[in-house]
Structure formats: C-alpha cells, structure tokens
Amino acid sequence: MCGIWALFGSDECLSVQCLSAMKIAHRGPDAFRFENVNGFTNCCFGFHRLAVVDQLYGMQPIRVKKFPYLWLCYNGEIYNFKQLQKQFGFEYQTLVDGEVILHLYNRGGIEQTASMLDGVFAFILLDTANRKVFLGRDTYGVRPLFKVLTDDGFLGVCSEAKGLINLKHSTTSCLKVEPFLPGHYEVLDLKPSGKVASVELVKFHSYKDEPLHAVCDTVEALPSGFDLETVKSNIRILLENAVRKRLMAHRRIGCLLSGGLDSSLVAAVLLKLMKEINISYPLQTFAIGMENSPDLLAARKVAAHIGSEHHEVIFNSEEGIQAIEEVIFSLETYDITTVRASIGMYLVSRYIRKKTDSVVIFSGEGSDELTQGYIYFHKAPSAEEAAEESERLLKELYLFDVLRADRTTAAHGLELRVPFLDHRFTSYYLSLPAELRIPKNGIEKYLLRQSFEDSNLLPKEILWRPKEAFSDGIASVKKSWFSILQDYIDQQVDDLMLEKAAEKYPFNPPKTKESYYYRQIFEKHYSGQSNWLPHYWMPRWVKATDPSARTLKHYKSAAQE
C-alpha cells in the first residue's frame, strides 16, 4: 500500500505543485521521492512508500536497465508475479512484485498487461520511447485512483483526490477531479510539450468472466457442474487459495475481526495457512466496539476458537463523535452508512498502527455484495433480481465499502487485503445459478455458510450468526451507533438548516440532519466536489429511510428470536 502521484504538462512551478503530493503522505510513511522525467521538465512523479516487499529496491518510480524508457508508479500487490515470471521467462531485476508490469507491457502491450495481473493495483506507466502514458485500476477498485485532465492536456493523477484538488493550472480556476473507473485502463498520447491527449478508455475485465490470468493460477481447472457438494468444495478451495496468495509480505500480518461470518472465515483460514507455512509469529486479530457490543462478544468467541492473539479496542460515544471530521476528510465522501461504518474502522486502524507491529491487515470486505449478505436481499422479488443487485453492488464497491476499507486503513499507514474480492473466487461465485445464491430459510449467505459447515473452522453459532452491519455491531443492541450519532447531531443541525438543504446542496440534497452534518464537513474540505458520490447507499425493495440494517423488520424479528 503506497501513495502515487504524477503530473504531466504542468505550466505552474513544479516545486509548488509538489506540495499537493504531501497530502497523501499517510499512505507511505516509510519513504518518499519526487522525480522529474528526463526531457520533460514539466512532468514528474511523486511516491510515498509503505515497505511491504523488497525493502532495498522497492522505491518508485520503478525503472530497470532492460527498459530505460519505461517509468512505473503503482500502488498494490500483484500476487501472480512469480507465476508470470515462470510462464514467460521474465528476468526480474528486483524483488518488487510490480516490476512484472514492465515485462508484461514490453511483451504484449497494455491490454495483456492489465488482463494478466492477479491482484489489486492502480498504476501510472510512462513509455517515453513511444510517447504514451497509461493508467490502470484493478477490477473492483480495491486500490484507489483519481485523475484530473484539462482541455489543453494537463494531467494529474493521484491515489486520493486530496492530492489533486489544490493543483494550479493557467487555463482553469476549478479543476475537475474524478475517480478513475475500476477494471479499466486508459491510453494517452504524450506530446513534446509534456501535455497529453486521451486516446481510449478500455474496460479490460468484467467481474463475471473468469480472468485471463487464471491460466497460470496455482489452482488449476476446478471440477465442473452445479451439484451442491462440488460447488461447496470449489468455494472452499477458491477462498483458501485467495487467502494463501495474499500471504505475500515481508511485514507482520494481522486481521480485522468483527465476529461476523466474513471476517471470521478470513481469520480462521488465514491462521490455518500461516501455521501450514510455519510463519513464526502469532496472528493478531483486532475487534472494536463499545462495552458489551455484539461484535466484541462474537469476536472473542472466534479468537478463542482459532487461537489468535486477540486485541479489543473499546471506544465510547465521545471518541467516536470526535473522529467524525477526520474520518470524512480521509474518506472523501459524505455517504451516510460509509461514514458511520468508517468511524470504528478508523479507530481500530489507529490502534493497530500505534500499539502493534502488524502492517498487512486482512479483512472481510466484498462478501456481502458477492454472496448477497445484506438483510434486504430477503425481500428480493426473484433470484434473478437478487443476482442483478449483487452485480450492481460489486460494480459500485469502489464508492462505498472498498473506499471505506482503503481510506480508514491507509490513513494510518496500513495495507488492506480482501480475499473475498479475489478475481477467481468472485467470477466462480457469480457463475453459479442465481437460485443457489439467494438467502434460504431466513438466512442470508446461506451457500457460503453451508460450504464451511463441516470444516470446524468456526463455532456453529458464528458460522450461522445473522448479518450485523459493522456500524451497528460495534454498539449495543439497546442503542445503535446510528442512534447515538443522531442524538448528537440533532443538537448541531437545526430544523431551518435542514429545510433549506436542497437550496444549499441541490445535488444529492441531505434528507436528514445526520446527512446534512456529514455534507457540511465534506464541503468544508472538498467544496464543489459532491459529484464524487453519485447517490447515497440505501437498501432496495424496502421502504427504507435509513441505511442501517437495524431499522429493517427482518433484523428486528431476528434480534427478538
């Protein structure tokens, strides 16, 4: 996990522009570098490094003797770099997994490069010999990337929008900063002036398709057919493989553990594999919540069952409320449920950074979207509509849960790993008949739970624990975290302010005092950038006015049982 930043065709003083790159210093606390591009005095790269692999030669931009005309800045992990080396006979100059991008590009061009990468990534690749700039981002946008491109060809690229919003350019006073779309690469021509022109934006992978890199995966062809035992076995094999490939690290590995199904499965599989490959240190697991919250109690059970070195972070409502502004600044969004859920994740990440030496952090993000884990899926009119909704949620992950997971951990210099969003795992799960994937017997994620029923990885009451939203599970059942927040915000936002909300904020106008409060803070830091969030996250098929699962009837009946 690092911070990348680059400018092409700047007509302002680069030493002043470079100050913007320092806004993402938290992403790479170990080292930083600025480097001008030979022959292009108005182009430069900035890089903040979190050293996870190759402590000696891991600085960027990466340049190797074999390709002196290629410059690469990337943020991410390429899990199959060794398999690709074996497959194509690449001769690496460093131990950095991202070096494979240079070799793939030299061998087969940008389309093959993006398609063959098994991992999470955002990259800027410069080819000075052919005067091309390439941008690329992984399928689900696990690693963030933003860009600004003016009509006259000034290009700025950064891991987070905050590194671009204060850039200066002579032809415009207000630069349009926007997220780079996941699963795409862009080709731009580099002019002698250092300015660029966009040639094409290409979608290189659809998450429903088996990825091209599956041909050199460590797990070869799986048994075909949709009989239940085969499907369950394939799910176990692929999830285990997803965790195994993510063990690639020279820094200590830890795991977030809410005590819900997803993080518990990841923690259990992770610890099992760490033992198999004889990692010498114990797995640290981390749970956060208010005193006696459901998450703390459930996580404690899981940690005892799997035998992890467990840490509990207990916070009170005052600490959570005090963190709101810094959380919104880190997130770059004002989405209600994202802000709520991020506060706990931000506080636990801060604890991990300050109190432990774990740096590479596993988590359960992506499972709810993939395996239909949200409570409102019980209300889906049909299996087909549920499948379509699952795909929509996956497509928008980069705006919501994946954004939350990246920014809250990156704010404290941690690197997040999310095995549920493994390309092979997701494409296989989405290939299953829609009827197999829906909630059954009143239980969401039924197929995933069934797949691990006989594994003894988890206690039965955890494997079949009903869905609890992270922003809810950290507080007691008696008073939800969203209720605590709303009580506080009621004192900060008066009725008149809310009445005039649509005039003040015509795009995505706040409908509640809570959303108004978050929007106010967002506009303070990112004025005029409300279009980064196309819409609020809300459950479907129910008349919901609040994104919390605890406001839905199904939750209430499950809690009463």
Find the catalytic residue in 2, 43, 44, 73: 2
Nearest to 420 by CA among 361, 462, 360, 364: 364
Quote the radius of gyration of the chain (alpha carbons, Å): 23
Closest CA to 202 of 170, 175, 180, 233: 180
The reply to whether 174 belongs to the active site is: no
127 is in an annotated binding site: no
CA-to-CA separations, 450 to 232, 233, 237, 389, in angstroms, rounded: 7, 10, 14, 22
Residue 364 marked as a ligand binder: yes
| 523-556: burial string, b at 16+ Cβ within 10 Å, e else | eeebeebbebbeebbebbeeeeebbbbbbbebbe
- Are 346 and 330 in contact, with CB atoms under 8 Å apart? yes
- d(CA 360, CA 266) in angstroms, rounded, equals 14
Residue 213 DSSP label: G
- Report CA-CA distances (Å) from 212 to 117, 209, 224: 9, 9, 18
| DSSP secondary structure letters along 123-154 | EEEEETTTTEEEEEE-TT--S--EEEE-TT--
Residue 191 three-state SS: coil
159 belongs to an annotated ligand binding site: no
Do the Cβ atoms of 321 and 223 come closer than 8 Å? no
CB 296 within 8 A of CB 332: no
Task: Compute CA distances 554 → 313, 377, 429, 466, 528, whole Å.
Answer: 29, 10, 25, 10, 38
Residue 363 assigned ligand-binding role: yes
Is 97 flagged in the annotation as binding? yes
d(CA 397, CA 522): 20
Q: Choose among 319, 439, 299: nearest CA to 368.
A: 439
Assign 179 to helix, strand or coil. strand
Binding residues: 97, 256, 288, 363-364
- Active-site annotation, residues: 2
Binding residues for L-glutamine: 97
Binding residues for ATP: 256, 288, 363-364
